């Protein structure tokens, strides 16, 4: 029996397929056929018997593929972040920082939202699609829930400061690589130091592990108090569920409410001391 050939998908069907697979942004203006990149994995060059040709010029590399050696990028991030005396300068240092390839695929830098004088600072993992478009953290569905969580303890964005460990959206919302996290870490650390809140709240496991150095999952770390050392001061820090997780698993909202009450209490204590 002959199997009828698969019908060729329409452009609309192809785009829907890509979107479902998480491919929702283009990395360059021209398509690249990776299968034709014959020299992607260079084979060992034979020993020259005669004087080799002079080196040929390097092929142009699209901006989206420029990478800096991770160690060099981490060192330059540390140096840049260390020298930023204000949040405005830290932001402009990030705008000009070329050590993280995510910058070249993102639409906008997502630096922060809220009040830099706030006594509480919330830190998520990385911006998503809505945040990338607006250039502000937590403005999509999970952001709306974060607003309700903050409102539950009598605050709003005018009384809280919100940022992410990674300030650029990873393409297709993929998980940031450990290297990308390490490269961006000095900037968020300096941001925390400059905001200098009384209470730091890490939202979800990635930002908890990155900032509080934990190895366990969020189920074990949430609701626990940590001392976050800025280098100049120790700040009370607590981990709680990421709002995107609560949207998927609403039954954990009860535990999240307990964490929010603990945060409100710590803020009252700090204000009274
Ligand atoms: N998730 C995050 O961790 N940060 C955002 O800004 C949005 C969604």
Could you tell me the residue ranges of all domains in the chain? 68-272
Distance from residue 28's CA to the centre of ligand 1 (Å): 24
Q: How many CA atoms lie within 13 A of 187 on its CB side?
A: 32
Evaluate: CB of 155 within 6 angstroms of ligand 1.
no
Query: SS3 for 10?
Result: coil
Region 51-67 average pLDDT: 44
pLDDT band, very low/low/confident/very high, at 216 (cuts 50, 70, 90) = very high
Supply the pLDDT for residue 45: 43
CB-based contact 196:161 (threshold 8 Å): no
Evaluate: CB of 128 within 6 angstroms of ligand 1.
yes
Max mean pLDDT among 24-33, 61-70, 260-269 falls in 260-269
Distance from residue 128's CA to the centre of ligand 1 (Å): 6
Evaluate: CB of 138 within 6 angstroms of ligand 1.
yes
Supply the pLDDT for residue 8: 76
Supply the pLDDT for residue 9: 74
Evaluate: CB of 202 within 6 angstroms of ligand 1.
no
Evaluate: CB of 137 within 6 angstroms of ligand 1.
yes
pLDDT tens digits for 128-143?
999 999 999 999 999 9
Distance from residue 138's CA to the centre of ligand 1 (Å): 5
Distance from residue 34's CA to the centre of ligand 1 (Å): 31
Distance from residue 242's CA to the centre of ligand 1 (Å): 9
pLDDT band, very low/low/confident/very high, at 83 (cuts 50, 70, 90) = confident
Evaluate: CB of 131 within 6 angstroms of ligand 1.
yes
Q: How far is CA 226 from the centre of its chain?
A: 22
Supply the pLDDT for residue 257: 98
Supply the pLDDT for residue 63: 47
Name the superfamily (CATH) of residues 68-272. Answer: Uracil-DNA glycosylase-like domain (3.40.470.10)
Nearest atom in ligand 1 to 110's CA: 6
Supply the pLDDT for residue 96: 95
pTM (predicted TM-score) = 0.78
Return all residues near 218 (Cβ < 8 A) that are at least 6 apart. 204, 205, 208, 239, 241, 242, 245
* Whole-number Å distance between alpha carbons of 106 and 54: 38
Average pLDDT taken over every residue of the chain: 86
Supply the pLDDT for residue 30: 66
């Amino acid at each position: 029996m002959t199997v009828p050939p698969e019908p060729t998908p329409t452009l609309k069907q192809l785009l829907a397929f890509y979107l479902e697979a998480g491919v929702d942004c283009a990395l360059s203006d021209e398509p690249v056929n990776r299968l034709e990149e014959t020299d992607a994995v260079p084979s060992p060059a034979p020993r020259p018997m005669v004087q080799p040709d002079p080196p040929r010029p390097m092929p142009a590399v699209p901006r989206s593929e420029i990478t800096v050696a991770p160690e060099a990028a981490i060192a330059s991030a540390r140096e840049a972040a260390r020298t930023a005396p204000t949040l405005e300068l830290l932001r402009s240092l990030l705008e000009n920082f070329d050590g993280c390839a995510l910058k070249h695929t993102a639409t906008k830098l997502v630096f922060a939202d809220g009040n830099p004088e706030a006594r509480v600072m919330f830190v998520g993992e990385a911006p998503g699609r809505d945040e990338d478009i607006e250039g502000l953290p937590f403005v999509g569905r999970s952001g709306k829930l974060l607003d309700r969580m903050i409102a539950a303890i009598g605050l709003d964005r005018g009384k809280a400061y919100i940022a992410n460990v990674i300030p650029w959206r990873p393409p297709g919302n993929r998980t940031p690589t450990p290297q990308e996290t390490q490269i961006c870490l000095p900037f968020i650390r300096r941001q925390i130091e400059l905001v200098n809140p009384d209470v730091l709240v890490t939202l979800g496991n990635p930002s908890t592990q990155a900032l509080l150095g934990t190895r366990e999952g969020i189920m074990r770390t949430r609701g626990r108090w940590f001392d976050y050392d800025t280098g100049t001061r120790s700040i009370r820090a607590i981990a709680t569920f990421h709002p995107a997780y609560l949207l998927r698993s609403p039954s954990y909202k009860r535990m999240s409410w307990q964490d929010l009450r603990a945060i409100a209490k710590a803020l009252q204590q700090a204000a009274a001391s």
